[in-house]
Amino acid sequence: MDKIGLNKRYDPIGVEDKWYNYWMEKGYFHADEKSDNPKRYSIVIPPPNITGSLHIGHALNNVLQDILIRWKRMDGFNTLWIPGVDHAGIATQNIVEKQLMEEGRNRHELGRERFIERVWKWKEESEKTIIKQLKRLGSSCDWERERFTMDKGLSIATREVFVSLYEDGLIYKGDYIINWCTRCHTALSDLEVEHEEQKGNLYYIRYPLMIEGEKRPSTDHLTIATTRPETILGDTAIAVNPRDSRYISLIGRSVLLPIVNREIPIIADEYVDESFGTGVLKITPAHDPYDFEIGSRHNLPQLKVINENGRMNEKAGRYKGMDRFECRKELVKGLKEERYLVRIEDYSHSIGHCYRCKTIIEPTLSKQWFVKMKPLSEPAIEVVKNGRIRIIPRGWENTYFEWMKNIKDWCISRQIWWGHQIPAWNCLDCKGITVSRKEPERCIKCGGSNIEQERDVLDTWFSSALWPFSTLGWPEKTQELSLFYPTSVLVTSFDILFFWVARMIMIGLRFMKDVPFRDVYIHALVRDAEGQKMSKSKGNIIDPLLMMDRYGTDAFRFTLAAFAVQGRDIRLSKERIEGYRNFVNKLWNASRFTFLNLSDYNGGTRIEVDKSDLKLVDRWILSRLNRTILEVRKALDDYKFNEAANSIYQFIWHEFCDWYIELIKARLIDEGKEKRISQNILVNVLDKSLRLLHPFMPFITEEIGEQLPYKREGMMVSPYPEFEEDMVDDIAEKEMNMIMDFLREIRNIRAEMDIPPSERLKVILNVDNKNKINVLVREKDYICRLARVKELKIGLDNKREESAATAVIDGIEIFIPLEGLIDFKEEKIRLEDKLQEVRKDLIFVSKRLSNRDFITNAPPEVVAKDKEKQKMLIGKENKLQENLKSITRMCE
RNA sequence: AGGCACGUAGCUCAGGGGGAGAGCGCUUGUCUGACGCACAAGAGGUCGGCGGUUCGAAACCGCCCGUGCCUACCA
């Protein structure tokens, strides 16, 4: 007791580190792969990118996982939470390149090997920061099992998956149009392209029609609308719809390409929309995904005119070397001068940008590696359809199906250095490709030794797709795999549903023959108070570390949980965190109170008192506690973190602190049996509340829990409170509600009549039945104390005194004699207001009850409830009327 | 263009067929032997608009308005 009781305010500094170190020393986070515990629960962390530090979204993500893991651990499961970080190919490479730039160097000067060494150094640094932050949050990860997407085991796993898919014909290499980032110098998958609506122009350009059979243009022409005039240089045809009567006769003829003066054919293709622009489409197969497809259908030449830097290449003639956007300007100028340009319209359309650097994507023809998705996607759709995997909230299932149905092959090669180098070797002699798990010595085709490994690396998401089983040791047949796969739940946010979740499902099913996780819980995105997505460039980032420094980790964690509503984004506000900081402090002081009253306590660790010795308040608080336990468990089961947090909050603050502690103060002053019972219940309720709260607030619950009169190894390894049905006590709750109503009524009179709290009152009660009298008499001491009443007269026929304020609750008339203190006029107004309120309610209920349809159609219990209410209101109305009458007399 | 959310107290948000809830803020009072990061009592809402279903709608359905997000090949 001396230990606590010192500070009136809880100070998290020091406490958090102390407990985290304690848990680590005890090895509580470590899952036992040799355990025969049949209850198992596992989560793999969505590995944060090693691009610096964690933001608030990560904080939310990990707090929710930690809540689940701590809850299950307390509930007796063998729990495993695997932590780790992701190499994040392009993003990380960009960061290190930027660092080099600041030193006035670039990666090409350094060379591939030394550059990669440099990235590894950065990795160590960033990883350290991230892990530290995760620990600061209280995350109870199994650190002995920490993984990295490029560590040795995961590299082997990645290679295994690649080779295996290649052998099964699901990975192929080919020339296709891909999304090219001219700044990152790499291909990107469709998902890595962000579309953004932008203002641009639609240029109407005249293409002169060639005279049939001759090598010269006629004076006729076709007009074509385009947003990208610079691609004219790469046009190899123009297309019209075969049904378009305007152009039907022209199909098969040709036009002269303006500026370039090259002759290209007019082809017919269904894709062309007659109603858009002029109904004529220029075809640039090497720089547009749909032109590419049309080109393939018609065997058109593919003419690349833009290079990997976004500059025009030698095929662009006099525009060679120009940036693509500069070329556009110049070309338009040229078209204008040579009278090819008909007009320019304003036009806004969506343009693809690189999701890493926001550069405008250049669709480019290129040789890349792809994964065939259709055979993988079908089983992945099935497992969600048949409920083997649950997506929570369910609304996301539709989004998932939609995407999976329209899935296209996945471009997985990246022209960067940081990542898993593709395990394919090209033969310099026969051009054959050797794909192999081990470094091959000879070409599989010609047997020559003149082979060279692919320089490209794999898309980062390729290795992420194996995360749920590669982290458990696959392709080795480990104990961990057999114990913890499939994992129990994946906690993530919707923005990587396709990038990651869908791919994990596909790859997991393929290689493990089972889903990677049973539940997918999709949480909100954290936005700032204005609803903006947080980003460094906007400068609206709330730093989780700063919040934890300022308010403590427990308050911060609790806030995130309380905000974690399904299907809605979070707007984080400091006020709210502050509110929960106050809650932490409230709990701290309730505990102080408890310990200050425990100096002579030698009671047991359980509720060992005879149930018949329990007072109403005891029965009530135990009933409420158990209902709360039930609610919290249910909410956690359903991933309703906010509901769980709220239940605990309401219980601890507004029931345990506001009422129970206040009510038992008098009992604790006495000595003897009564005191012991109070102490016992007090300790038990506090203990269970702490354990209930532990997954949300791990630190303070340990700090307080340590001082409970129990011999324990720590809250985090104590059992999670169980719901005990026989503790639920409807009668106690009903009686307590009556007493609380009654107390509120007296306090209300006090406040409205400006009677200072220090003024002890005399109160007379006129009660309508014996039962209520018994309860009131029994609880008289409590009532007097909390209402600050010096004299309480309870009876069946007590009469109102003349100068008394009055109030009515269900079946109880309250008279407070206020000789000299009462202002009759004011009291009259007060009663009139009350009467009006009651009448309003009464009219409402009566109206409903007089509706025949209501009586016949509404459920009987609803009707019964209304009838009872009506009866109560009539009683109240009568009493109020009587009292109003006599107060009116006093006014005269 | 299509799809999906959302619109509830001044602010941030819960709830969801049977008389509107929380936190913060606001007003008034308290300095009570755990806590002023507190206690007590209050004020404050046509639950975006219009129709429909129902005995009953803030909740379910349709349309409209507003906001946000996602997906998309109309050059």
- What's the Å distance between residue A399 CA and nucleotide B2 C1'? 13
Integer Cα distance of A174 and A462 in angstroms? 18
CATH number of residue A328's parent domain: 3.90.740.10
Whether residue A280 sits in one domain with residue A251 = yes
| Residue A792 host element (H or E) | strand A789-795
Dihedral sign from CA coordinates of A721, A726, A728, A729: negative
For residue A57, tell me if it sits in a domain.
yes
Mean pLDDT of the region A553-580:
84
| Adjacent-strand bridge partners of A312 | A306
pLDDT tens-digit map of A317-326: 889 899 999 9
Whether residue A216 sits in one domain with residue A332 = yes
Dihedral sign from CA coordinates of A168, A171, A174, A177: positive
Q: Return the closest-CA partner of residue A341 out of A332, A350, A330.
A: A332
Query: Which residue has the closest alpha carbon to B3 C1'?
Result: A399
CATH number of residue A833's parent domain: 1.10.287.380
- What's the Å distance between residue A876 CA and nucleotide B55 C1'? 27
Integer CA distances (angstroms), A322 to A83, A230, A231, A360, A362, in order: 48, 11, 13, 16, 15
Integer Cα distance of A205 and A328 in angstroms? 13
DSSP A68-99: HHHHHHHTT-EEEEE-EEB--HHHHHHHHHHH
pLDDT given at position A348: 81
Query: Which residue has the closest alpha carbon to B55 C1'?
Result: A854
Where do runs of H (alpha helix) occur along A670-718? 673-693, 698-705
Integer Cα distance of A301 and A298 in angstroms? 9
Sheet of A424-427, strands arranged across: A433-435, A424-427, A451-453
pLDDT tens-digit map of A154-196: 999 999 999 999 999 999 999 989 999 998 899 998 888 988 8
- What's the Å distance between residue A793 CA and nucleotide B73 C1'? 84
Contacts for A491 with CB less than 8 Å, ≥ 6 apart: A43, A46, A61, A64, A65, A68, A521, A523
Whether residue A156 sits in one domain with residue A42 = yes
pLDDT given at position A3: 46
For residue A312, tell me if it sits in a domain.
yes
Kindly report the bases of strand B lying within 7 A of a protein C-beta atom: 3-6, 11-15, 18-19, 22-25, 28-42, 54-56, 67-75
Whether residue A883 sits in one domain with residue A848 = yes
Give the closest nucleotide to A594 (alpha carbon vs C1'): B34
Give the closest nucleotide to A843 (alpha carbon vs C1'): B19
Give the closest nucleotide to A740 (alpha carbon vs C1'): B40
Asked if the model's pLDDT at residue A829 lies above 60, the reply is yes
Whether residue A778 sits in one domain with residue A834 = no
DSSP state of A757: T
- Note the Cα A124 to chain centre separation in Å: 28
- What's the Å distance between residue A396 CA and nucleotide B7 C1'? 21
Mean pLDDT of the region A693-719:
92
Contacts for A34 with CB less than 8 Å, ≥ 6 apart: A479
Give the closest nucleotide to A197 (alpha carbon vs C1'): B72
- What's the Å distance between residue A71 CA and nucleotide B15 C1'? 25
Burial A496-522 (b: 16+ CB within 10 A, else e): bbbbbbbbbbbbbbbbbeebbbebbbb
- What's the Å distance between residue A791 CA and nucleotide B21 C1'? 36
**Residues A509, A65: contact at Cβ < 8 Å?**
no
Integer Cα distance of A449 and A173 in angstroms? 22
Integer Cα distance of A301 and A57 in angstroms? 48
Contacts for A537 with CB less than 8 Å, ≥ 6 apart: none
Number of domains in chain A: 5
pLDDT tens-digit map of A53-73: 888 888 999 999 999 999 999
Q: Tokens 């790859």 identify what position?
A: A507
Give the closest nucleotide to A745 (alpha carbon vs C1'): B41
Mean pLDDT of the region A664-692:
89
- Most confident by average pLDDT, A267-276, A337-346, A353-362, A693-702: A693-702
Contacts for A106 with CB less than 8 Å, ≥ 6 apart: A97, A100
Predicted confidence band at A531 (pLDDT cuts at 50, 70, 90)?
low
Integer CA distances (angstroms), A198 to A278, A341, A361, A688, in order: 22, 22, 14, 57
Average pLDDT, chain A: 89
Q: How many residues does the structure list for chain A?
A: 892
- What's the Å distance between residue A497 CA and nucleotide B4 C1'? 15
Report the largest interatomic distance among the alpha carbons of chain A, rounded to a whole angstrom.
120
For residue A106, tell me if it sits in a domain.
yes
Q: Phi and psi dihedrals of A861, rounded to 5?
A: -65, -30
Whether residue A735 sits in one domain with residue A590 = no
Integer Cα distance of A809 and A873 in angstroms? 9
For residue A266, tell me if it sits in a domain.
yes
pLDDT tens-digit map of A96-133: 999 999 999 989 899 999 999 999 999 999 999 999 99
Output the CA angle A309-A313-A315, nearest 5 degrees. 155
Integer Cα distance of A495 and A543 in angstroms? 21
pLDDT tens-digit map of A231-285: 999 999 999 988 888 888 888 889 999 888 889 999 998 888 888 888 899 999 9
pLDDT given at position A397: 86
Structure tokens at A281: 């489409």
Whether residue A737 sits in one domain with residue A708 = no
Integer CA distances (angstroms), A521 to A318, A395, A512, A572, A829, in order: 56, 11, 21, 20, 55
Whether residue A243 sits in one domain with residue A149 = no
Asked if the model's pLDDT at residue A377 lies above 80, the reply is yes
- What's the Å distance between residue A196 CA and nucleotide B1 C1'? 15
Query: Which residue has the closest alpha carbon to B13 C1'?
Result: A563
Query: Which residue has the closest alpha carbon to B1 C1'?
Result: A349
**Residues A520, A397: contact at Cβ < 8 Å?**
no
**Residues A304, A207: contact at Cβ < 8 Å?**
no
| Helix%, strand%, coil% for chain A, nearest 5 | 50, 20, 35
Domain that holds residue A594: 551-713
For residue A316, tell me if it sits in a domain.
yes
Query: Which residue has the closest alpha carbon to B25 C1'?
Result: A575
- What's the Å distance between residue A662 CA and nucleotide B36 C1'? 17
- What's the Å distance between residue A197 CA and nucleotide B16 C1'? 37
Query: Which residue has the closest alpha carbon to B71 C1'?
Result: A403
Give the closest nucleotide to A595 (alpha carbon vs C1'): B34
In single-letter form, the type of residue at position A546 comes to L
| Adjacent-strand bridge partners of A348 | A199
Query: Which residue has the closest alpha carbon to B28 C1'?
Result: A751
Burial of A792 (0-12, 13-18, 19+ CB in 10 A): middle
For residue A375, tell me if it sits in a domain.
no
Integer Cα distance of A108 and A121 in angstroms? 18
For residue A370, tell me if it sits in a domain.
no
- What's the Å distance between residue A861 CA and nucleotide B55 C1'? 14
Predicted confidence band at A88 (pLDDT cuts at 50, 70, 90)?
very high
Whether residue A827 sits in one domain with residue A812 = no
Among residues A792, A820, A848, the one where a domain terminates is A820
Q: Tokens 């990107």 identify what position?
A: A188
Q: How many Cα atoms are found within 13 Å in the side-chain-facing hemisphere of A556?
A: 25
Mean pLDDT of the region A376-381:
92
C-alpha dihedral over A445, A448, A449, A452, to 10 degrees? -50
Q: Return the closest-CA partner of residue A366 out of A426, A411, A320.
A: A411
Whether residue A316 sits in one domain with residue A330 = yes
**Residues A238, A282: contact at Cβ < 8 Å?**
yes
Q: Phi and psi dihedrals of A480, rounded to 5?
A: -60, -45
Percent of chain A with pLDDT over 70: 97
Asked if the model's pLDDT at residue A607 lies above 80, the reply is no
Among residues A305, A337, A355, the one where a domain terminates is A355
Output the CA angle A217-A221-A227, nearest 5 degrees. 120
For residue A630, tell me if it sits in a domain.
yes
CATH number of residue A792's parent domain: 3.30.2320
Integer Cα distance of A773 and A780 in angstroms? 10
Whether residue A322 sits in one domain with residue A267 = yes
Structure tokens at A349: 């359309």
Sheet of A487-493, strands arranged across: A390-392, A517-523, A487-493
Angle between the A56-74 and A544-551 helix axes, to the nearest 10 degrees? 60
Among residues A355, A390, A411, the one where a domain terminates is A355
Q: Return the closest-CA partner of residue A817 out of A760, A885, A776, A777.
A: A760
Predicted confidence band at A867 (pLDDT cuts at 50, 70, 90)?
very high
**Residues A505, A62: contact at Cβ < 8 Å?**
no
- Note the Cα A168 to chain centre separation in Å: 37
Predicted confidence band at A530 (pLDDT cuts at 50, 70, 90)?
low
pLDDT given at position A609: 67
pLDDT given at position A2: 40
Whether residue A650 sits in one domain with residue A589 = yes
Asked if the model's pLDDT at residue A605 lies above 60, the reply is no
CATH number of residue A593's parent domain: 1.10.730.10
DSSP A209-220: EEPTTSSSEEEE
Q: What is the CA radius of gyration of chain A?
A: 37
Reduced to 3 states, what is the DSSP secondary structure of residue A184? coil
Mean pLDDT of the region A506-511:
95
